[in-house]
Amino acid sequence: MEAFNKRKKHLKEVLARSASKIHFSFDLWTSPNHLALLGVVAHFIDEFGQNQSILIAIRQLHGSHSGENQAEVIKEVIHEYNLQNRVGYFVTDNASNNNTAIDALVACFLPHLTPKQRLGRRLRCLGHVINLSAKAFLYGTEFNAFEKDAEAFKEQSSLLRELQLWRKRGPVGKLHNVVTFICRSPQRREKFANIRSQSEDFATEFDGLKLVVDNAARWNSLYLMIERALKLRDRIDRFCIDHAESMHGSSNKKAQSTEEYESLLKHDSLTADDWAVLTEIVAFLEKFYTLTKRAEGSKLSSDRGVLSDYMTILNILLKHVREYRDDFNFRAENPDLTSPGIRQLCACIVNCWTKLDEYFAMVNDTPAHYAAIVTNPQMKWKYFERQ
């Protein structure tokens, strides 16, 4: 406790000497021991002109997860650090209760602002906007329901229902099931790893690569799973063929898992069209992945993760999605040029475009985005003139 109090006193001194307003980001999550925890991070320019982001509190949230309840906890933290007269902007994800929380906080510490001006103090997490857009592409408009169902089936150990749920997602779901099937067992992982040594057809540059298991809640893990699988396509196909042959040749099929048989042999082996769709998906999402990394920023790089990136990155993504949308619409109108799986991606691209466009329209709520570009020496007004 002594070390904690010493650290807190030091943080108060650092914040008091800061050269800028103090901006805050906060997020709520559930700990492994099932406590609702609210983390608060302070962002500021220190006395030496360095950009700082420091965790100043992790508090248990009692009762409702409403915006009002979160705001009360954050108010306490701001008062504890004596920052009530230095409040700047708030950065959060796009959960609706954050609108309420930020409005209550700004009304408390900046009471002279109008409702419209209070809204202008809310900055939306760019990574979360990209996340929602990528999920809209991969899962459609009901991705929250899909994630809840997938998590529920996993907690219930209902493997068959989980496999069936994923299978409805098309080639992505089928690949997820195959990768999960292989990686669920040490014996199957070993069998997959040994396929390389039994064949001379695979490129040596891919030797030793392992499958990447995705996390349904994180679209980028799904992207990395597909990207790796494309490099291991021959090995995956060979594993599925070998497994099918071993199942058909078994003299004791009843001893084999019905779920395994259903998951891999009957429904989840990938066709050439499936691989074509997965190739297009990786090509489409690569831009989202690289721009997410750029938006994360770094203390080692002062020109990444800055506020002026918000609008520019969204513009890049909108242009990227628009080009894909036009190309796929053209291909969809010419059935001879593509497969049904590829044509289905048209709807996925429209879902992504709709989500991106929705959040780009919200840029106008926060004039700071425009100010960040105009005051950026590399951009200024010329950026808008070029758009």
- Across the range 73-102, mean pLDDT stands at 96
Residues 180 and 113 in one domain: no
Residues 94 and 201 in one domain: no
Q: pLDDT at position 255, please? A: 44
- Calpha distance 209→189 (Å, rounded): 12
Residues 205 and 238 in one domain: yes
Closest by CA position to 183, among listed 232, 139, 137: 232
Residues 248 and 173 in one domain: yes
- Calpha distance 317→184 (Å, rounded): 36
Helix (H/G/I), strand (E/B), else coil: 140: coil
Contact 127, 359 (CB under 8 A): no
Amino acid at 151: E
User: Highest mean pLDDT: which of 256-260, 294-298, 313-317?
Assistant: 313-317
pLDDT tens for each residue of 211-260: 998 886 789 999 999 999 999 999 999 988 887 777 665 555 544 555 55
Last residue of a domain, one of 60, 89, 124: 124
135 occurs within a structural domain: no
Residues 198 and 248 in one domain: yes
Question: Is the model more confident about 174 or about 145?
Answer: 174
Q: pLDDT at position 175, please? A: 94
Please list, in sequence order, all residues whose beta carbon lies within 8 angstroms of the beta carbon of residue 57, skipping any fewer than 6 positions away.
38, 39, 40, 77, 80
pTM: 0.86
Residues 247 and 291 in one domain: no
pLDDT of 359 above 70: yes
Last residue of a domain, one of 213, 244, 278: 278
Residues 199 and 215 in one domain: yes
CA 265 from centroid of its chain's CA atoms: 31
Q: pLDDT at position 254, please? A: 47
Our count of domains for the chain comes to: 3
Last residue of a domain, one of 124, 155, 190: 124
Domain that holds residue 57: 1-124
Band of the pLDDT at 207, cuts 50, 70, 90? low
DSSP 304-361: SS-THHHHHHHHHHHHHHHHHHHHHHHHHT-GGGS-HHHHHHHHHHHHHHHHHHHHHH
From residue 271, alpha-carbon distances to 195, 211, 286 in Å are: 20, 19, 23
Residues 96 and 62 in one domain: yes
Question: Exposed (0-12), middle (13-18) or buried (19+): which is 357, by Cβ within 10 Å?
Answer: middle
- Calpha distance 287→69 (Å, rounded): 38
User: Residue 64 maps to which CATH number?
Assistant: 3.30.420
Contact 293, 313 (CB under 8 A): no
Residues 243 and 164 in one domain: yes
